A and B are shown apart, each in its own frame.
Chain A
Amino acid sequence: MTKVFVILFSLFLGACALSGQTGAAPPPGDPTVFYMFLRHHDALAQDVKALAATDPARASNTQVGAAASMNLGVNDFMRIGPVYQQLESELEAVNAKANAYRDAVVSGSTTLDIAIIKGFTASRNEAIARARARLQSALTPAGWQALSAYIDGEFRNGVRVFGRTR
């Protein structure tokens, strides 16, 4: 009986190990994916900014390349930054409250209320949803269509999600 259990457990671990290398892409429209995309854009924009001081021609080429990588023209590419900056400040405000609440829970000064932390999650997702709407307004219709396809297509396919099952 013990031997059978060991064999079955080994098979289970093996199956887990095989599946563990791949993970799953999140569904289209996932707010965290949208937020990660904005950070990805910001990283590329920072590269452009850093180059601009030393090598303007290369900075210009990099901006063209970075925009092209997400199926955008340069003008639409440049409209994304302000949307990210505003979202980042909104998320910082939510996180500050969430951190304070966590510290209170951990210190024992308050009891964990799942509804409160779910409220923080909701606030974050709402901020991201607003940013998404702002971005749609900021971009040209063609730019938004191209960018949406990129975010929910190529970019999302590079994202993997891991978590608990119970």
Chain B
Amino acid sequence: MTVRSVRHVAGPFFLVLLSVPALYSQCADTNTQIYTATTATRINGNQVKLMNQTTISGDYSNWWQPDSNISFYFGSTLEANSGWQRDPSTGGTWSNSYSPTLQTYGPDTYSITAAADAWTTYCGGGMYFSQYCNLYGCTVDPPWDTGNAITIQRPGRPDYVSGATHYLWYLGGNAADRGYNAVTAFAPGAANGAPEQPTYVIVSGANELSLSCTNCNYPVATAIGWASDCQTYDVIVKTSYSGFLSDAFWIFINRPWNLVAANDQPDPDDGWCDPSTGPWVYSCALYNGWETHVNYETYSLCATDPAMNNYDVNEQFPWGWAGDPPANWEYGGPTSYNVAKTQWVDDISMSDWGAAPGDPATCDLVPGVWVPCIPSFTLPGVGPHTLVLQAQQNWFVGNWVIGSGARVQSDALQKYTDSGWHTNIITPNP
């Protein structure tokens, strides 16, 4: 590399060489010209090539060695300078370039400036073409500077595919549940000049979201976890164009979170037992026994949002029922409900179907073999109030299948001689 602190000292040469033009006139003629090309090319999504070529053409091209000094600017900041560099051979083309990585620098204007010249030792001593040109008049007065630039915008953020859900719910592995979706699809944003197909990158929150593919245009996105809090957009998805990352796509993933005690309400299927505005737990007589309603609403991570509606809820008894001998009450399995509105009921009962109040309580712990219940159940409020059966109970929202969905509560479901009850409630309990 040749670095010259003083260039284009045309004045003194002009005076000296005017007296001996014959010696130098054989080094160039009006057909001998410097060509200098600067290009700023986006060679892939993450790189630009800022290149200069300097060549000398024409009759005396073999007398000269092209010479250039290039600079790379990011915005208005000088990032690199080559210093003056020269083709070691004559008659060739000197190329020099910078290939900055966009992810390193970011979006802005990438510029190259180049000063071009040529050098000869065949003209009675070394001299520059610019000096020589000054002797005879130049088409353009040196210094011979050129430049080029390319402005880079960061690729636009990915987004939901048009028509796909724009609100993700974690549903415990279920893709969708009535009005709630755990699955959507993404589309890339504007490439802004990046030529290749992008790849998707989950920059943060990979424990909350999975993508069906990353090297594709329209991945299916599935919520596999949930946000740390309401309206906390802790999933960040970007598209990468050979490493140049797009703007961020921030995603909040909600989930069914907790149960809240609700007032008993009239139920078209069970209206005889429902007051117009009952308490959280309400019991009434059913045949010769009892029925208890335990009322809930389901809320999401956003406690101030309205209660969820139009979804499935199911209960699970992970360890079955437990009762102290000689209790012989039969017990049913867990069930699922579709919650069409916001409020729903755990309907607990113990009675003999079709029996009249006061009839003896009979049980068929062995199906079809009816024996007197031990202890006997009674109408609500008729003592004694004795605990007979108990089961660990988990509540799941977002799935009809028993034990599937997003768990929102665990409790102990209890059957007493005269009513049912939920105790040891833990909600939320993900």
Contacts and interface: CB of A to CB of B under 8 A. Distances in A.
B138 A62 contact: no
B44 A65 contact: yes
B43 A162 contact: no
Interface stretch (B90-98, B162-170, B205-213, B398-406): B90-98
A19 B141 contact: yes
A155 B133 CA distance: 26
Contacts of B42: 65, 69
Given A61-B196, A69-B41, A163 B59 contact: no
B133 A163 contact: yes
A36 B55 contact: yes
Interface stretch (B28-36, B338-346, B418-426): B28-36
Nearest to A119: B59
B37 A163 contact: no
B142 interface: yes
A134 interface: no
Nearest to B57: A32
Nearest to A20: B141
Interface stretch (B144-152, B180-188, B271-279, B363-371): B144-152
Interface string A34-59: 01100110011001000000000010
A155 B37 contact: yes
B47 A62 contact: yes
A136 interface: no
A64 interface: yes
A47 to B, nearest CB: 6
B10 to A, nearest CB: 10
A7 interface: no
Contact of B53 (A36, A44, A102): A36
Interface in B118-148: 122, 132-133, 136-146, 148
Contacts of B99: 47
Q: DSSP majority for the A interface? A: helix
Contact of B138 (A44, A105, A162): A162
Given A69-B43, A158-B37, A159-B35, A61 B242 contact: yes
Q: Which of A16, A58, A61, A98 has the most CB of B within 10 A?
A: A61
B58 A121 contact: yes
B35 A161 contact: yes
A165 B139 contact: yes
A92 to B, nearest CB: 9
Nearest to B29: A164
Interface residues of A, number: 52
Given A40-B53, A65-B195, A158-B37, A163 B62 contact: no
B362 interface: no
Contacts of A22: 140
A61 B116 CA distance: 32
B39 interface: yes
A161 B137 contact: no
A49 B122 CA distance: 38
B51 interface: yes
Interface of A: 13, 16-17, 19-24, 26, 32-33, 35-36, 39-40, 43-44, 47, 58, 60-62, 64-66, 68-69, 95, 98-99, 101-102, 105-106, 112, 114, 117-118, 120-121, 124, 155, 158-166
Interface of B: 26, 28-39, 41-45, 47, 49, 51, 53, 55, 57-63, 90-93, 95, 97, 99, 116, 122, 132-133, 136-146, 148, 194-196, 241-242
Given A64-B195, A65-B194, 14 more contacts: A23-B146, A36-B35, A40-B53, A44-B49, A61-B241, A64-B196, A68-B195, A99-B90, A99-B91, A118-B31, A158-B38, A162-B144, A165-B137, A166-B30
